[in-house]
Structure 1
């Protein structure tokens, strides 16, 4: 098999823009510096754009009437008030869960069960969980009315008794 070479007419050199690795650290530094300079030049007007945006926003703000400004402030205040109400309701619900857990002596794992219960139903649900946890477990199907059979002696005990050693 023959080695493949780039197809160029005889007597011509390969294209000059072919990549060549840098020969030294200085060449590499020069290449990196040139690339960074090109990249920075793309974003050289960024600060100008930010300044123009600020000026435009100031212009828009100056064009608003006093009524529009008051309306925006009122909307912002309403949004903040609603957020505070929601946070207060969440805090009340968490307090109700904690109180119910303490009242019915529930563990942290049991408290996790109350996490998604509405605040109005926390007390009732905690009581149900507590009752289920403290319910007596019946030993078998008949409620413990029959006595268990006597324990059968082990083979070693039978042999000891027969030989008189036990």
Structure 2
């Protein structure tokens, strides 16, 4: 509140007390006066920030604790990410071992295994093996079959052929 506002309110401040009488301005005439004024000002400012060093030390300690906690959290996050990555590799590793076992067990050709057994998930790999084996057994059942292959047809002549031979050969 300014002096002008205080005068409008009947000379009272907001808390109900009357403002102190302003000191009349006295010009600084000597270096001692200036030093005294600066010393008073420094003293007032020091009073405002008397616990500054203590607060600064506490703030530094808080920063250290936050950094320590943050690094612990980051370490935990890193461990969790590493564990998740390892867990994600497990189905692929299992599928590789299952693939090797099934190729040996069912005597699947290496080229067929490389071409058809591509799954990294064990369940899908088993489906691929079942389908590959089913195709092989289906091919064996209905493979390339020529019904009369290897048999000599009977030399039975038709009636028309016999007639033509008799007519032209005369035998």
Identify, as 1 or 2, the structure richer in helix. Answer: 2
Question: Would you call these one fold, judging by a TM-score over 0.5?
Answer: no
TM-score range, shorter chain: 0.3 to 0.5
Greater Rg, structure 1 or structure 2? 2
**Normalised TM-score (structure 2):** 0.42
